[in-house]
Amino acid sequence: MMKTVVSSLILSIVVCSILLALYPEVDDFRLGNPFWNGMREADSLLKPTILNSYSELPTVGYNLTLLLIGPERDFTVDEAEAIRRFMNNGGQVILADELGYGNTLLEKLNLPIRIDSGLVLDPLFKERNAKLPKARYISDSHAVEVILNHASIIRGCSKPILLTTSYSYLDINMNNAWDPGEEKGPFTVGCILKIGEGELIVFSDSSLFINSMIILGQNREFLLDIIKDRKILVDSLHWSQTIFTLAKSAVMQVFEILNTVEARYIVVISAIMLIAKFTPTRRKTINRIPVEEILKLNPSWDKQVLEKLAREIRSG
């Protein structure tokens, strides 16, 4: 009975781990998420590097762009100083946020602009409905039409680069209709600020470049025009971590460890020993770990290392 329980438990752990590893990410903005709310399309387009710590952020940012997409927690003083240093030395930072967490960065950088609350609607110039309003981006070389998704607005911007139409309005009470006293457009939804030798670009819409939006309008061309040929870093530190995300991350780290040759040796031999332990009728046969058979399946493995591991597992 105990052997059956243990075997079932081990099998369940192995199956669940494999499923976790194979199933794609589902959380908002994740680069590995292929669904509507992920950024796999942008990942394929930009080939970015994930920033797992601000100690990894270069102090010199020439030819580099840091993406801060959809932050879900406040920025610390140390993080703001690292970002300031990065921009002062030539780095480009793109902040896309409509919830307001990005304001904690703007405040710590002592900048005059803020991401305001409210929802921008446009009943005339829109993609499918008023919550997907169109905005105009004009660069030095050309203009493109960008589709927004549940965007808010930016206050205090002296150099807007992305504007909604004059038919848009700010729906403060979220009733999907214009009411007396609610502001009418055009609104600034994209702003650029010169910071030292670099620049900060702020959008009041975190969804501009998710899978379901980057294919609309000219959003893809818009993104490429802004970043040009820079290398991309993506901040993952300000996204919330769900149980699924944490579990998948842990499993992937284990798989990375198991990808080493030494780990594969141990796994193969340990599996054989477990079979021997829970299969008494074959214990004497399997207890003699078939190194030669393993080598036939994996001819590149080191025979001496296998034999050493087999002796250690058998004795321990």
Q: What is the pLDDT of residue 257?
A: 60
Q: What is the pLDDT of residue 304?
A: 77
C-beta separation of 132 from 165 below 8 A? no
SS3 104: helix
Q: What is the pLDDT of residue 284?
A: 47
C-beta separation of 122 from 205 below 8 A? no
**SS3 breakdown of the chain: % helix, strand, coil, rounded to 5?**
40, 20, 40
Q: What is the pLDDT of residue 266?
A: 59
C-beta separation of 95 from 201 below 8 A? yes
Residue ranges of the alpha helices (H) in 114-194?
Answer: none
Q: What is the pLDDT of residue 258?
A: 58
The burial class, CB within 10 Å (0-12 / 13-18 / 19+), for 245 is: middle
| pLDDT means over runs of 10, the chain (316 residues) | 61 57 73 94 96 94 97 96 98 96 98 95 96 90 91 97 97 94 96 97 98 96 95 94 63 59 57 59 51 69 73 65
Q: What is the pLDDT of residue 283?
A: 45
Task: Enumerate residues 6+ apart whose C-beta is below 8 A from 153.
Answer: 115, 116, 118, 120, 170, 187, 188, 189, 204
Sign of CA dihedral 183, 177, 209, 114: positive
Question: Rounded to an integer, what distance in angstroms lies between the CA atom of residue 103 and that of residue 111?
Answer: 9
Phi-psi region of 252 (alpha: psi -120 to 50; beta: other; left: phi over 0): alpha
Q: What is the DSSP string of 25-79?
A: P-STT-TT--STTS-HHHHHHH--EEE--GGGS-S--TTEEEEEES--SPPPHHH
Question: Rounded to an integer, what distance in angstroms lies between the CA atom of residue 38 and that of residue 25?
Answer: 8
Question: Rounded to an integer, what distance in angstroms lies between the CA atom of residue 306 and that of residue 292?
Answer: 10
Single-letter amino acid code for the residue at 250: A
Q: What is the pLDDT of residue 282?
A: 47
Q: What is the pLDDT of residue 141?
A: 72
Single-letter amino acid code for the residue at 227: I
- Cα dist from 256 to 50, 249, 285, whole Å: 17, 11, 32
Q: What is the pLDDT of residue 26?
A: 80
